[in-house]
Structure 1
Amino acid sequence: MRSLPSFPSLRSFLEWCAETDQFQRVADPVSVIHQMTAVHRNVLERQGPVLQFDQPLLPGGAPSDVPVVVNLFGTTARVAAGLGVTLEGLDDLGAFLAALRSPTPPDGMRDALSRWPMLKAALATRPKILRSAPVQSVVLESDDVDLCALPIQTHWPGDAGPLITWPVVVTRPFDSEAADVSRYNAGVYRAQVLDHNRLIMRWLPHRGGAAHHQSWAKQGEKTPVAIILGADPATLLSSALPLPESVSELTFAGALNNARPRLVPAKTVPLMVPADAEIVLEGWVSPNETAPEGPFGDHTGYYNRAEPFPVMEVSAITHRKDPLYLSTYTGRPPDEPAIIGEVFNRLALPTIRAQIPEVHDLWLPPAACSYRMAVVAINKRYPGQARRVMMALWGMLPQFSYTKMIVVVDTDIDPKNWEDIAWALATRMDPVRDVMLIENTPMDYLDFASPQPGLAGKMGIDATIKIDSETSRDWGEVMKTSDKDADFAADLVARLMSGTGS
């Protein structure tokens, strides 16, 4: 399954990026306030390399001795590499992930042996617990804790302040032990810096971290939390994948890496943390203290409003001897989350097909925030099938609960081609007959177009050719050049364009 070497740390991945001409160091001083985001966005839009800012300037203009790494997953190829494969290997990886979700019994010894990579991946999820680790080479506690010494960016002019944007936040439920890593949750939740030792933890109610916090708060207890800054790419991407709640992201990263994850006990909280990370912020989230988080620029391209979220007091900062700080920005696509979303959508296709077999292809346009709109190509066989697929996507798959528009097309339409989509809408869809509207369904509260926060309508558009009882008219025949004539034309035009034709 894995075609690239394992990357046990962020540094090993950066070395690979450098070897493949996808890494560049920036010697110029660049401010963490707005400037770094502007440079990052410019490079990302050019599909450029990973950048390491060697002279980040802190608020006030003082230089930081901690370099900042950005644009780690600024291309789909690097996202795939972080998962251990090339772009060509994504389909096989998607099929593998689908098989892990719904494994089928092996058919004989030959089939069982062919599934050895799956077994090996499952075994790789058992963590290896260390007594010491690179990430604990330096330990800062008590009065030595100073978040303001880290080069944490303020990304947009309207932002409320410094914001940590690539944290892997590790939690566990109240009724678990620190050694029970299989019950951990690792999620990417942004964290606003309040002062030298306090953060605001922005985790939404439906996310795993918030559920764990509730389990501690119900007991009147503070929640132990570890924020991983600069994890290995498998851990970073596992934390962003929509995995089932029963699957621990830390152990799943071992399956992606084909290696047992290396963990070490945290210094001041009862949690295990990745041994080869760059920086770890340890601390406790209050069961009842909140502070207004935001406003901050979000993936929608708008600033979200300030809202109360729990406060975390940082009890320790541990890091490597010469740590790197990993960062990114969120904004109107393109941004790194949108690029990661493109790859994750492709990985999800085999799982979607397992539940809805008639799905031929699917695209969630990055420009539509990577989830607000979907275009689905289906193998249509019977009347009403397009509507059935719409409702199946909305009802069967949680990741589509915030998708407010689904367009269904036939297999002769490329769902990733806007011209194909426009032609299908113009020639195969009647606005009265083929548009389905649903009221009061779940929606991302960041969608300012919704009438009520968290509730909005959904639209399904059937842009397929109508068959049988769907229409009373004979449908027109689609024009198409024969394959033989198309090949003849391609050869002749190629010779004409090269100057060798008669």
Structure 2
Amino acid sequence: MRELPPFPSLRGFLDWCGENGQLKPVPDAVPVRHRMTAVHRAVLEAGGPVLRFDNPVLDDGSRSTVPVVVNLFGTPERVAAGLGVTLDGLDDLGAFLAALRAPTPPDGMRDALSRWPMLKAALATRPKIARSGPVQDVVLEGDQIDLTRLPVQTHWPGDGGPLITWAVVLTRPHGTEADAVGRYNAGIYRVQVIGRDRVIMRWLAHRGGAAHHRSWQARGERMPVALVLGADPATLLSAALPLPEAVSELTFAGALNDTRPRLVPGKTVPMMVPAEAEMVLEGWVSPDETAPEGPFGDHTGYYNPAEPFPVMDITAITHRRDPIYLSTYTGRPPDEPAIIGEVFNRLVLPTITGQIPEIRSVWLPPAACSYRMAVISIDKRYPGQAQRVMMALWGMLPQFSYTKIIVVVDDDIDPSNWDDIAWALATRMDPARDVTILENTPMDYLDFASPRPGLAGKMGIDATTKIGSETSRDWGTVMQTDPKDAEFAAALIARHFKAPGA
């Protein structure tokens, strides 16, 4: 499954980026307040390289000795590389993810042997517990802790303060032991710095971290948490992948890396943490104390208002001797989450087609905040099939419960081509007949268009050719050039015309 060498650490991946001309050091002094994000956004929109800011300027005007890396996943090619494959290898990885969700028994010895790579990958998820690792070369506790000395960015002019954006937040449910890594949840959540040793954890109610917190909260106990900064790319992307609930993101990273993950015990919390990470913030989340988090610019392109979320007290900062701080921003697409979403769209297709076989392709337009809109092409065979597919997709994965618009087209339409979509809508859809409206369905809490937070409508548009009882009219025939005529035209043009610019 893996095509590239393993990247057990962030710096190993950065070395690979450098060798492939995809890493650019920035020696200039660049403020972490607003301007670093402005540079990052301009480079990302141009499809540019990973940036390493070697002289970050803190809010008090002093220079940080910790370089800042941004735009790690600023292109689809680098997202795929972080998963260990080329863009061409994404389909095989998607098939592997689909098999994890719905494994089938082998059909004979040959089929069993063909699945050995999958078995090897599963075995690689078993963590290796070590006594020490580079992430704990330096341990800061008590008065030595000072988050304000880290180059944490304030991204947008309306932001409420410095925001940690690429933390892999490790939690476990109440009643489990620290070494029960298979029960861990790894999520990417916003972390607002509000003091020298205090942060706010922003996890929405449906996320794994919030569910674990409720299990500790119900017993009036604080929850141990580890914030991993600068994890290896497999761990970063596993924390964002739509994995089955029974699959631990932390251990699945071992399957992606084709090697057993190496973990070390935390210094001040009963948690295991990645030994090769750049930095870990250890601490405890209060069962009842909250603080207003935000406002912050979000992936919708709007600021979300300040709201109360749990407070975490930091009890230790551990890091390598020469740590790197990994960061990103979220905003109206394009941004790194949108680019990651493009790749994940391809990865999830085998899972979708395994459950809804008539689907041929799915496109989640990045400009529509990745998952707010979906265009689906199907092999249509019977009346009402488009509506059945809409309902099935909305109920299949948690991510699609937030998709507010689904457009269904025939398999002769390219669902990622806006001209094809517009033609299908204009010629195969009647607004009075082919639009399905649902009310009071789950919706992204950050969708300001929703009448009520977390609850809104959905629209399905059937832009397929109408068959059987769907219409009482004879349907038109699509015009197409005969293949032999197309070959004649191509040969004539090749003889008499030069290609533009030739």
TM-score scaled to structure 1, two decimals?
Answer: 0.98
Task: Tell me, yes or no, if structure 1 residue 288 matches structure 2 residue 293.
Answer: no
The residue that corresponds to 1:168 in the other structure is 168
Task: Tell me, yes or no, if structure 1 residue 115 matches structure 2 residue 151.
Answer: no
Distance 2:261 2:489 in 1: 55
Distance 2:237 2:368 in 1: 21
Distance 2:194 2:183 in 1: 30
Task: Tell me, yes or no, if structure 1 residue 271 matches structure 2 residue 271.
Answer: yes
TM-score scaled to structure 2, two decimals?
Answer: 0.98
Task: Tell me, yes or no, if structure 1 residue 34 matches structure 2 residue 34.
Answer: yes
Distance 1:13 1:495 in 2: 48
* 1:216 aligned counterpart, secondary structure: helix
Instruction: After TM superposition, list the pairs within 5 Å mapping 1:17-416 onto structure 2.
Output: 17-416=17-416
Q: What whole-Å deviation, never above 9, does each CA across 1:418-453 have from its counterpart, x for those lacking one?
A: 000000000000000000001110001111111111
Distance 2:302 2:390 in 1: 28
Query: Which amino acid in 2 is paired with 1:236?
Result: L
Contact 1:208–1:245 at 8 Å: present in 2 too? Answer: no
Q: Aligned in 2, Cα 1:497/1:57: closer, same or farther, shift over 3 Å? A: farther
* 1:375 aligned counterpart, secondary structure: strand
Q: What whole-Å deviation, never above 9, does each CA across 1:188-247 have from its counterpart, x for those lacking one?
A: 001000011000000111000001111111111111000000000000000011212221
The residue that corresponds to 2:6 in the other structure is 6
Query: Which amino acid in 2 is paired with 1:334?
Result: P
Structure 2: state its 5+ residue gaps.
none
Q: What whole-Å deviation, never above 9, does each CA across 1:356-397 have from its counterpart, x for those lacking one?
A: 000000000000000000000000000000000001111233
Query: Which amino acid in 2 is paired with 1:168?
Result: V
Query: Which amino acid in 2 is paired with 1:382?
Result: Y
Distance 1:386 1:131 in 2: 56
Q: CA deviation at 1:481?
A: 1.1
How well do the aligned residues superpose, as a CA RMSD in angstroms?
1.0
The residue that corresponds to 1:464 in the other structure is 464
Distance 2:371 2:499 in 1: 47
Distance 1:94 1:105 in 2: 19
Q: Aligned in 2, Cα 1:381/1:266: closer, same or farther, shift over 3 Å? A: same
Q: CA deviation at 1:497?
A: 3.9
Contact 1:365–1:371 at 8 Å: present in 2 too? Answer: yes
* 1:401 aligned counterpart, secondary structure: helix
Higher alpha-carbon deviation: 303-312 or 480-489: 480-489
Distance 2:121 2:456 in 1: 41
Query: Which amino acid in 1 is paired with 2:250?
Result: L
* 2:118 aligned counterpart, secondary structure: helix
The residue that corresponds to 2:478 in the other structure is 478
Contact 1:169–1:226 at 8 Å: present in 2 too? Answer: yes
The residue that corresponds to 2:437 in the other structure is 437
Query: Which amino acid in 1 is paired with 2:336?
Result: E
Q: Aligned in 2, Cα 1:51/1:113: closer, same or farther, shift over 3 Å? A: same
Distance 2:499 2:304 in 1: 57
Contact 1:394–1:400 at 8 Å: present in 2 too? Answer: yes
Distance 1:321 1:259 in 2: 25
Q: CA deviation at 1:345?
A: 1.0
Q: What percent identity do the matched residue pairs reach?
A: 77
Q: CA deviation at 1:499?
A: 7.4
Query: Which amino acid in 1 is paired with 2:489?
Result: A
Distance 1:133 1:47 in 2: 35
Contact 1:33–1:59 at 8 Å: present in 2 too? Answer: yes
Q: CA deviation at 1:122?
A: 0.5
Q: CA deviation at 1:100?
A: 1.8
Distance 2:8 2:19 in 1: 17
* 1:252 aligned counterpart, secondary structure: helix
Q: CA deviation at 1:136?
A: 0.2
Q: Aligned in 2, Cα 1:53/1:495: closer, same or farther, shift over 3 Å? A: farther
Q: What whole-Å deviation, never above 9, does each CA across 1:385-416 have from its counterpart, x for those lacking one?
A: 00000011112332210000000000010000
Instruction: After TM superposition, list the pairs within 5 Å mapping 1:439-454 onto structure 2.
Output: 439-454=439-454
* 2:432 aligned counterpart, secondary structure: coil
Structure 1: state its 5+ residue gaps.
none
* 1:396 aligned counterpart, secondary structure: coil
Distance 1:24 1:413 in 2: 40
Q: What whole-Å deviation, never above 9, does each CA across 1:287-307 have from its counterpart, x for those lacking one?
A: 000000000000000000100
Distance 2:76 2:490 in 1: 31
Query: Which amino acid in 1 is paired with 2:390?
Result: M
Q: CA deviation at 1:97?
A: 1.1
Higher alpha-carbon deviation: 50-59 or 239-248: 239-248
* 2:64 aligned counterpart, secondary structure: coil
Query: Which amino acid in 2 is paired with 1:454?
Result: G
Distance 1:495 1:318 in 2: 68
Distance 2:2 2:419 in 1: 36
* 1:204 aligned counterpart, secondary structure: coil
Distance 1:199 1:88 in 2: 41
Distance 2:61 2:488 in 1: 65
Contact 1:100–1:118 at 8 Å: present in 2 too? Answer: no
Distance 1:492 1:167 in 2: 59
Query: Which amino acid in 2 is paired with 1:153?
Result: Q
* 2:255 aligned counterpart, secondary structure: helix
Q: CA deviation at 1:495?
A: 4.2
